[in-house]
Amino acid sequence: MEYRQIGQSGITASAITFGAWAIGGWMWGGADRKEALEAILASYELGVTSIDTAPAYGQGLSEEIVGDALKSLPRDKVQILTKYGLRWDMQKGQHFFSSKFNDGSPLEVYKYAGKESVIEECENCLRRLGTDYIDLFQIHWADPTTPIEETMEAIVELQKQGKIRAGGVCNYTADQMKVAETVVSLAANQVPYSMVFRDIEKEVVPYCMENKKAVIAYSPLHRGLLTGKFKPGQSYNDGDTRESNRFYTAENITRTNAFLDTIRPLAADKQATLAQLVIAWTLQQPGITIALVGARNAEQATQNAKASEIKLSAEDLTFINERLGKLELVF
């Protein structure tokens, strides 16, 4: 496993980090708690020391499962990344979207990151995780109803109290990062990035590279689309939002699979799965520090971790990129 610095925070994390969204079950059609716990522990045994979670993932469930895993792991050798700024327990801030709890009851989510709310959320995260500090505390989505400066003042206070080691952001533009930087030194920006969704290459990645901020790429497999396992007419569990996602139309699945077929021989040559090849590609893109990869069970976690063993040459990258350049999705 390769380990990389998260900006200038002094935190070293595994280049492949366990993404704990799916194990919360929410928006993924459910999850098995025992298998989720086994997935985290299997990842750690293969060098995945970093875990990214959030209160919103299962409305606390993901963090609780991570907390259970921490009971079996040396806390000083694990990096916990979690978030704040999405509230389902108060109607304040900007309404984000309507969904359902894992039990099927109505769920309303709001973007809110007022100073007192951030501090309260930190306490809730610490309780669910069963720890006394968080390595990287990140705003989940920008809250347009609260000045960025106010939100970041809470991060400065939490750092002074020793409850968090560093502050980061998620889904921030470069301009939003600049405003945050007037109050606190950010360690990272966690943003969506995959072979089929590369918008951050325009502004976010150049800004982070120039200012020595880590880029934490989430959904590098695009929620499974880039594994080659999805077929047109795919069936989904209740509550799985991929069914209505624009990337998961029959046409786009067909086109993506056609592209994946062109790089399948390279994966075979590397004795790797398509997913492992995609993860390796992601980690070798300019400015990308960490790839967050989710797993529901130990087998998936093991396969993800082993992607760190795959090395791609300049020729390999050119081979992939030339074929990727010919992929056109329909929106």
Q: Specify the CATH number for the domain of residue 125.
A: 3.20.20.100
Q: Is residue 234 part of a domain?
A: no
Kindly state whether residue 238 falls inside one of the protein's structural domains: no
- Report the 10 Å Cβ neighbour count for 286: 9
Indicate whether 105 pLDDT > 90.
Answer: no
Residue at 65 is within a domain: yes
The question of whether 110 is a catalytic residue gets the answer no
pLDDT value, residue 238: 72
Q: What is the pLDDT of residue 24?
A: 78
């997913």: which residue's tokens? Answer: 275
Would you state the pLDDT for residue 234? 80
Residue 93: pLDDT band with limits 50, 70, 90? very high
The DSSP 8-state label assigned to residue 328 in this structure reads -
If we measure between CA atoms, which residue out of 293, 259, 261, 296 comes closest to residue 276?
293
Cβ-contact 90, 113 below 8 angstroms: no
Average pLDDT over residues 36-43: 93
Count how many domains the chain has.
Answer: 1
Q: How far apart are CA 233 and CA 236, in angstroms?
A: 10
Does residue 30 register a pLDDT over 80?
no
Q: What is the mean pLDDT of residues 110-122?
A: 98
pLDDT in tens, 254-286: 999 999 999 999 999 999 999 999 999 999 999
Asked if residue 235 belongs to a domain, the reply is no
Q: What is the mean pLDDT of the chain?
A: 94
Can you give the pLDDT at residue 27?
Answer: 55
Looking at the domain assignment, is residue 216 inside a domain? yes
* Tens digit of each residue's pLDDT (9 = 90 or more) over 63-73: 999 999 999 99
CA 163 to chain centre: 22
Q: Domain of 95?
A: 3-225+275-310
Q: Is residue 160 part of a domain?
A: yes
Tell me how far CA of residue 104 lies from CA of 58, 96, 107, 238, in angstroms.
Answer: 12, 18, 9, 9
Answer whether residue 231 shows pLDDT above 80: yes
Cβ-based burial of 168 (10 A; exposed 0-12, middle 13-18, buried ≥19): buried
Tens of pLDDT, residue by residue over 193-223, are 999 999 999 999 999 999 999 999 999 999 8
Q: In whole angstroms, give the CA distance from residue 211 to residue 197.
A: 23
* pLDDT (mean) for 94-103: 86
Banded model confidence at residue 104, pLDDT cuts 50, 70, 90: confident
Task: Provide the strand spans (E) within 163-213.
Answer: 164-170, 188-192
Q: Tokens 């699979």 correspond to what residue?
A: 257
Residue 61 within a domain: yes
Tell whether 243 is covered by a domain: no
Q: Is residue 100 within a helix (H) or strand (E), and if so which, with residue range?
A: strand 94-100
DSSP structural state of residue 211: T
Report the pLDDT value the prediction gives residue 165, as an integer from 0 to 100.
98
Contact of 185 with 8, CB cutoff 8 Å? yes
195's tokens = 């072979």
The model carries a pTM of 0.93
Catalytic residue among 57, 110, 193, 218: 57
Average the pLDDT over 116-129 and give the result: 98
